[in-house]
């Protein structure tokens, strides 16, 4: 059975919550697994459809990975989303699937008119899919960052990123200090 990238809405919420809980429990410990599982549940249940996008990698009935993107308000009139969180099933990691899933999402977000994409994570990983490290003078984070080197953005248009000073906002489910 071939691996396919599909809109996340083909799957029930619980399947996605379970994937993130299991993957993050394996990589970061049970408490982090519960926290990220709850984040995914909250994002899926509380975020308006127009403010949420996501994709899953499936092989037949098996869920191999998932990524969520949610709306991010910039202080300028540009459409922005943030990638968070993402997970690749533990036995599928390190085979290029994460990068392929993100790249699938980038194409879809561009087609939806998203102009700027942010994320917060390991720069060594996310630089492989077009992100660059930015400072908080460039684009503010919605919460204080415990790891400022992991604040990342990319333009999804042919316009280069320019500084956008001022307050920003993420969706409510993500707007908790423990995620930043």
Which residue's CB is nearer to ligand COA, number 54 or number 98? 98
d(CA 58, CA 9): 12
Pick the stretch among 4-12, 82-90, 148-156, 170-178 that binds ligand COA (CB under 6 A): 82-90
How many residues belong to the site for ligand COA (CB under 6 A)? 19
Pick the stretch among 4-12, 47-55, 81-89, 132-140 that binds ligand COA (CB under 6 A): 81-89
Instruction: Give 16-36 as a DSSP string.
Output: HHHHHHHHHHHHH-HHHHHHH
Asked if residue 97 binds ligand COA (CB under 6 A), the reply is: yes
Asked if residue 54 binds ligand COA (CB under 6 A), the reply is: no
CA angle 112, 175, 143 (to 5 degrees): 105
- Shortest spacing between CB 28 and ligand COA, in angstroms: 7
d(CA 151, CA 159): 20
Quote the strand ranges of the chain, DSSP E: 3-7, 52-59, 62-73, 80-88, 116-120, 132-133, 151-155, 169-170
Identify which of 106, 178, 180 has the alpha carbon closest to the alpha carbon of residue 136. Answer: 180
Question: Helix, strand or coil for residue 55?
Answer: strand
Which of 124, 160, 167, 178 is close enough to bind ligand COA by CB under 6 A? 124
Which of 37, 85, 105, 142 is close enough to bind ligand COA by CB under 6 A? 85
Which of 33, 37, 54, 98 is close enough to bind ligand COA by CB under 6 A? 98
User: For binding to ligand COA (CB under 6 A), which residues are involved?
Assistant: 23-24, 27, 84-88, 93-99, 121-122, 124-125
């Amino acid at each position: 059975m071939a691996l396919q990238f599909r809109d996340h809405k083909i799957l029930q919420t619980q399947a996605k919550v379970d994937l993130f809980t299991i993957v993050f429990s394996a990589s970061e410990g049970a408490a982090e697994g519960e926290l990220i599982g709850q984040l995914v549940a909250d994002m899926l249940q509380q975020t308006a459809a127009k403010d949420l996008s996501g994709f899953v990698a499936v092989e037949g009935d098996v869920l191999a990975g998932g990524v969520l993107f949610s709306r991010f308000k910039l202080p300028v009139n540009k459409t922005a989303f943030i990638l968070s969180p993402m997970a690749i099933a533990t036995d599928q990691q390190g085979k290029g699937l994460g990068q392929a899933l993100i790249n699938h999402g980038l194409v879809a977000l561009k087609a939806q008119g998203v102009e700027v994409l942010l994320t917060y994570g390991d720069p060594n990983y996310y630089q492989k899919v077009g992100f660059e490290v930015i400072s908080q003078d460039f684009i503010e984070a919605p919460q204080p960052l415990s790891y400022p080197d992991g604040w990342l953005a990319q333009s999804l248009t042919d316009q280069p990123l320019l500084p956008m000073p001022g307050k920003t906002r993420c969706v409510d489910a993500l707007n908790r200090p423990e995620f930043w």
